[in-house]
Amino acid sequence: MSVSPSDQELIERIRARDQDALALLYDRYARPVYSLALHILHDRRAAEDVVQDAFLTLWQRPETYISERGAFGPWILRVARNRAIDLLRRRSRETFHDDDRGAPFEERIVDPDPEPGDQIWTHTVADRMRAALEELTPAQREVIELAYFRGMTQSQMSAHLDVPLGTIKTRVRTALRRLADILEEAEVWTDVP
């Protein structure tokens, strides 16, 4: 049985212009990218466009992914999220006019460009979340990763892992409870810089 190449190996192959490597990464991540885009846009066709655009960006400019900054999965989700939000903003500019005070719509939406302090706090929370995930058991971490990164429902996880649905529900509930306890102990939600 052959071992599938890691994301990093596939990225290196994409940088060498290997289309098969792009196809493998697409197969691995297209579904969660689509799920995220659909959740933001509520439009299937637009979500499909976001998926295509995210992977086209990777193909055209593979150097934009820097492995030292984090794993590929969250990076491609962030690219898709940004594309989807950009699309929403474009649609909003077309739909909405300036208000009576003359402020453009993009200045009236919630925090389109966070302050440096907010960005630092977000990165701090993300780092603590990664550390908290490491404290889970492998089975608990697996279901959280399947739900978040692959967008699987509990029923899909049950089928994918060949584990009874009740066991999956217990793992998810226990993992979420454990994450909440870990993050509360670390005071993640209260120590804003």
Would you say residue 90 has pLDDT above 60? yes
pTM, 2 dp: 0.50
**pLDDT at residue 20 in the model:** 94
Indicate whether 125 and 45 sit together in one domain: no
Mind listing the pLDDT tens digit for each residue in 136-167? 999 999 998 887 666 778 898 999 999 999 99
Indicate whether 77 and 141 sit together in one domain: no
**C-beta separation of 85 from 41 below 8 A:** no
Indicate whether 10 and 66 sit together in one domain: yes
Between 13-22, 26-35, 128-137, the lowest mean confidence (pLDDT) is in: 128-137
Which of 81, 113, 145 is the endpoint of a domain? Answer: 113
Q: Which two tokens stand for residue 2?
A: 């052959």
**CATH code of the domain in which 102 resides:** 1.10.1740.10
Give how many domains the chain has, as a whole number.
Answer: 2
- Could you tell me where the beta strands, DSSP code E, fall in 109-162? none
Which of 60, 83, 113 is the endpoint of a domain? Answer: 113
CA dist 78 and 69 (Å) reads 12
CA dist 179 and 143 (Å) reads 13
Going by the DSSP 8-state scheme, the letter that residue 68 receives in this structure is G
Which of 113, 144, 172 is the endpoint of a domain? Answer: 113
CA dist 142 and 162 (Å) reads 13
Going by the DSSP 8-state scheme, the letter that residue 65 receives in this structure is -
> Dihedrals φ, ψ of 151, to 5°?
65, 25
Mind listing the pLDDT tens digit for each residue in 73-85? 889 988 998 898 8
**CATH code of the domain in which 154 resides:** 1.10.10.10
